[in-house]
């Protein structure tokens, strides 16, 4: 795949006052990339961006930037899980790390956790699996469908032992535990309650503390 950074031409107005050089429409940047459906896994992994991008059989999905509340909850979980990781010898990572579920299928969960920091699943450019994945549901119908339905199926198929779904709109945290190759619902926890992990006995958190993270 061509490196866009070697080829992109920017319009004079975007380059700033007094800029010199050729002009071309911004939409032409898109022609530097593969058509949807034609991306290879290697081309997807070579993409460098601060946006969340996921991959499915030749298609690249670019998702909306997170809200402030979303980031606050994510930061809360990372702080908690990094403390836990020190206790149990594990490792936690925030969104930005790619999780390869199987060939031609990668996601970027909000948070992933491995109980063993030396696990063979842990790679430099992506992980091949996780023990725990956490998703914070965004507001759009498309995002809700993806986190509540699609990823519930995919993460189970990939063998992720536990999946937490934090839904700020409904003010709930749902814990799903792997039973064979499907998830069973350990519980849906609401304000005033404490959400507890099946996989990690040390992990028990007040729901209100999660939802009100700042």
Question: What is the pLDDT, as a whole number, of residue 46?
Answer: 61
Question: What is the pLDDT, as a whole number, of residue 96?
Answer: 80
- Does 1 have pLDDT greater than 70? no
How far apart (Å, rounded) are the C-alpha atoms in residues 112 and 140? 23
What does the pLDDT look like over 68-110, one tens digit per residue? 999 999 999 999 999 999 999 999 999 889 999 998 888 999 9
27 & 99 share domain: no
98 & 168 share domain: yes
103 & 142 share domain: yes
Question: What is the pLDDT, as a whole number, of residue 169?
Answer: 96
- Does 209 have pLDDT greater than 70? yes
144 & 198 share domain: yes
Is the model more confident about 209 or about 22? 209
What does the pLDDT look like over 164-181, one tens digit per residue? 999 999 999 999 999 999
123 & 190 share domain: yes
Is the model more confident about 123 or about 14? 123
77 & 10 share domain: no
Residues with Cβ within 8 Å of residue 116, at least 6 apart in sequence: 89, 90
Question: What is the pLDDT, as a whole number, of residue 5?
Answer: 38
Is the CB of residue 91 less than 8 Å from the CB of residue 114?
Answer: yes
In the chain, the percentage of residues whose pLDDT exceeds 70 is 72
Among 37, 62, 87, identify where a domain stops.
62
In the chain, the percentage of residues whose pLDDT exceeds 90 is 62
82 & 188 share domain: yes
46 & 76 share domain: no
Please give the tally of structural domains in the chain. Answer: 2
State how far Cα 53 lies from the chain centre: 8
30 & 121 share domain: no
Among 62, 84, 110, identify where a domain stops.
62
In DSSP notation, 131-190 reads SEEEEE--SSHHHHHIIIIIHHHHHHHTT-SEEEEEETTTTEEEEEEEETTEEEEEEEEE
Q: Which of 43-47, 180-184, 185-189 has the least mean pLDDT?
A: 43-47
Question: What is the pLDDT, as a whole number, of residue 168?
Answer: 97
Which band of pLDDT confidence, cut at 50, 70 and 90, is reported for residue 111? very high
206: domain CATH number is: 3.90.1570.10
Helix (H, G, I), strand (E, B) or coil at 207: helix
What does the pLDDT look like over 15-38, one tens digit per residue? 444 444 455 565 454 555 666 665
Is the CB of residue 189 less than 8 Å from the CB of residue 209?
Answer: no
99 & 205 share domain: yes
Q: What is the domain range of residue 187?
A: 68-211
Which band of pLDDT confidence, cut at 50, 70 and 90, is reported for residue 54? confident
Q: What is the pTM of this model?
A: 0.77
124 & 200 share domain: yes
């Amino acid at each position: 795949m061509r490196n866009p950074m070697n080829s992109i031409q920017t319009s004079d107005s975007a380059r700033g006052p007094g800029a010199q050089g050729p002009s071309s429409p911004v939409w032409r940047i898109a022609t530097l990339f593969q058509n949807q459906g034609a991306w290879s896994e290697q081309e997807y992994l070579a993409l460098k961006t601060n946006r969340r991008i996921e991959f499915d059989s030749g298609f690249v999905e670019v998702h909306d930037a997170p809200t402030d509340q979303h980031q606050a909850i994510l930061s809360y979980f990372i702080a908690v899980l990094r403390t836990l990781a020190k206790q149990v010898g594990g490792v936690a990572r925030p969104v930005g790390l790619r999780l390869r579920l199987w060939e031609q299928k990668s996601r970027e969960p909000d948070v992933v956790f491995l109980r063993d920091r030396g696990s063979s699943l842990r790679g430099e450019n992506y992980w091949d699996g996780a023990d725990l994945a956490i998703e914070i549901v965004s507001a759009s119908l498309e995002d809700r469908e993806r986190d509540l339905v699609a990823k519930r199926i995919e993460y189970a198929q990939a063998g992720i032992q536990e999946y937490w779904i934090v839904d700020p709109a409904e003010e709930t945290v749902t814990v799903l535990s792997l039973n064979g190759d499907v998830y069973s619902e350990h519980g849906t926890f609401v304000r005033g309650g404490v959400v507890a992990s099946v996989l990690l006995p040390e992990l028990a958190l007040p729901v209100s503390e999660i939802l009100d993270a700042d």
